[in-house]
Structure 1
Amino acid sequence: MLPKSCIPCRGPGRPRQLDLGEREAIIIDVAERVILSAGLGGASMAAIAREAGMSKRTLYEVFESRAALFAAVVRRIRSSVARPLEPHQFDLPLAERLRLILTPAAEKFTDPLPLALLRAVVAEGDKQPELVHGFLQEGPYALHAMIRLELDRSVARGEIRISDTESAARLMTDMAHESILEHLISNLSECHREEAYRRRLDLAIRVFVGGIGEPEGEADEGRRAS
């Protein structure tokens, strides 16, 4: 059942109807709890509806499929890992824009859900390919797109000259994050994980902007000079 904090207060007369955004948020909250307690395989629409205290029909009125609900869960997680820039930040240097995008919220290092979800996708993904597709689209691929947008912005301004910004965005993302295997088996505390990530991010940005991020003509001249 929903925790009391999720149940709207009822005054005299008819109860207030939740709007779509509120219902989506409540269902995603419940889906996260079910995934943590029962894994991806146990997070059926029936189990989520039962935990939420609603019918499956109501659940499907908000999310047309289990894959759509799972994608919404991943999208929420991504918002704690990376965030799009605000318009007033578009004119910042590339290194600062990359750091803003790739600096996660503090709760990312204490929330058990991202790691539990990653483990579930690795363990159960071969049986549920549609969920893997949603995970990739709303997770890594969406992050690559955010980075590529900033690289394209810098190319248009003449800050950098990169012909393949898609591959460069993937490279930047991979440099900033620890390997999947390391992430799955690491037993570092939240404090140490956050500290290690920030050190890695700083180094990744310096290496990227100082290497592939510099104008290609300057890089060629540097190689000829050496």
Structure 2
Amino acid sequence: MTTPRRGPGRPRKVDAGDTKAALMSAALRLFARNGYAGTSIRSIAREVGLSESVLYAHFAGKQAIFDAVLSALGPKNPLDITALGSSAPAEDDPPHYLRELVRASLEEWEQDDARLLISMMARDGLLHSSAVRDAVSAMRTQVSLLFDRWITAGLIPADLAAPEDLAMSFTGFIGLTRILHLHAEATDQDRAQARDEIRRHTETFIRVTFRD
């Protein structure tokens, strides 16, 4: 979603196919610079050299743009985020699937826009918004469905924990670490330590959950 920063002078025009992504990227930069409340629809449109009417052809308003940015860079369905090159890793090797899920997530969270989103939401109090709560809830629901499938298949002991509790245990520490340490202001050392802690958490979870 990242687009090159424009220089001084008249804002550049964008191709029709890139308009939505350009608006989302521009909005995120402005949200981070001026705050969500301090960013107007007009300023977002002007940032990419468009009229407000063109913006409204793509988004109903500022909240819709934020929701689109959150959908692109925030919590996701675990079946969507991974590009594992295999059609059935979830059933064939759940520990491998979880490792690849974490790897793909960390790669996405290292992107400038992804880290900028965390910083912007923390500063503006948007981490507590209904949009974020709904995104986290939807993600955990999908993760719990994965664990339910693995329990049903006998890959996880049925008496270990409910699928929802396993999903909470797996994702809770990872999500908190992202918020605390994988943001735009984090140092390289902080980010490296956070990535290491997330990987160690993943390995511990795998050893406890998949006992065989």
Give me the TM-score of the superposition, normalised by structure 1: 0.68
For residue 210 of structure 1, report the CA deviation from its aligned partner: 2.7
What do you get for the CA RMSD once the two structures are aligned?
3.5
2:109 counterpart of 1:108: yes
Aligned residue-pair number: 196
The answer to whether the 8 Å contact 1:6/1:26 transfers is no
Give the direction of change, closer, same or farther, for the CA distance of 1:167–1:66 in structure 2 (3 Å limit). Answer: farther
2:51 to 34, 52, 55: 55
2:41 counterpart of 1:34: no
The answer to whether the 8 Å contact 1:97/1:150 transfers is no
Give the direction of change, closer, same or farther, for the CA distance of 1:184–1:78 in structure 2 (3 Å limit). Answer: closer
Q: Which runs of 4+ in 1 moved over 6 A?
A: 184-187
* Aligned partner letter, 1:108: W
CA distance in 1, matches of 2:206, 2:145: 15
Give the direction of change, closer, same or farther, for the CA distance of 1:84–1:143 in structure 2 (3 Å limit). Answer: farther
**Correspondence 1:1-226 to 2 at 5 A:** 3=6, 7-8=14-15, 18-19=16-17, 22-78=18-74, 83-84=81-82, 87-103=87-103, 104-106=105-107, 108-109=109-110, 111=112, 113-125=113-125, 132-138=129-135, 140-160=136-156, 161=158, 164-179=162-177, 182-183=180-181, 189-190=187-188, 192-211=189-208, 213-214=209-210
* Aligned partner letter, 1:165: P
The answer to whether the 8 Å contact 1:115/1:184 transfers is yes
For residue 146 of structure 1, report the CA deviation from its aligned partner: 4.0
Task: State the Cα deviation string for residues 19-75 of structure 1 (Å, max 9, x = none).
Answer: 4xx322121121122123222222322221222222222212211232221011112
Task: State the Cα deviation string for residues 126-154 of structure 1 (Å, max 9, x = none).
Answer: 7x97xx2223333x334423422321221
* Aligned partner letter, 2:125: G
Task: State the Cα deviation string for residues 68-91 of structure 1 (Å, max 9, x = none).
Answer: 2101111221389x7246534233
SS in structure 2 of the partner of residue 40 of structure 1: coil
Unaligned runs of 5+ in 2: none
* Aligned partner letter, 2:97: R
Give me the TM-score of the superposition, normalised by structure 2: 0.72
Percent identity of equivalent pairs? 19
Unaligned runs of 5+ in 1: 9-17, 219-226
* Aligned partner letter, 2:198: L
The answer to whether the 8 Å contact 1:85/1:97 transfers is no
Give the direction of change, closer, same or farther, for the CA distance of 1:30–1:207 in structure 2 (3 Å limit). Answer: same
